[in-house]
Amino acid sequence: MKAIIIQGSSRNNGNTHKVSVELQKHLNCDIINLKDKNIGHYDYEYNNQDDDFPALIEKIANEYDLIIFASPVYWYTMSGLTKVFFDRISDTIRISKDVGRKLRGKKMAALSCGYGSDAIEGFFLPFQKSADYLGIEYVGNIHTWVQTDSLDDEVKGIIKEFAERIKE
């Protein structure tokens, strides 16, 4: 199973990246930083088809079996970068239907990263509902946190356990 982590943080090397790299060690997967991509907001007239989204979603649909979204907790929800990516998935339903069909049957997981160990109630609901709508199997989620410059052993253990669970 080939996996990819789609990281939606405003900092390429911030806390969400730290937990993504830790997860990557256990899954031997790729990481894409949405901050490095030029992805415009959803547009009902589809005037943004020359940005990075069409090629990126086609690559994801063609090459990966497991898609893991990694987002910091921003104002109790996913980051704006992650939300814009999700909104643009609408393009695969409306104008790139062949790509959208390739998403069916894939697996999706989500990871949140905050400053405390308490997960935000309802944070993962948009991920779960979007997976259901797209015909993607939602295989779980995990909340992580970073309180110092490095990951503590508890968080590393949670990430390792999560990796083993979603590999199956």
CATH code for the domain of 59: 3.40.50.360
Total number of domains constituting the chain: 1
Q: What is the pLDDT of residue 167?
A: 87
Low-confidence ranges of the chain (pLDDT < 70): none
Q: Tell me the DSSP string of 61-88.
A: HHH-SEEEEEEE-BTTB--HHHHHHHHH
Identify the pLDDT of residue 100: 93
pLDDT value of position 148:
86
Q: Identify the pLDDT of residue 168.
A: 74
The alpha carbon of 32 is separated from its chain's Cα centroid by a whole number of angstroms, namely 9
Contacts made by residues 57-63, CB under 8 angstroms, sequence distance 24+: 57/88, 57/89, 57/91, 57/92, 57/96, 57/99, 58/96, 58/99, 60/4, 60/6, 60/103, 61/92, 61/99, 61/100, 61/102, 61/103, 61/106, 62/102, 63/2, 63/4
- Domain span at residue 19 reads 3-167
pLDDT of the residue at 110 = 98
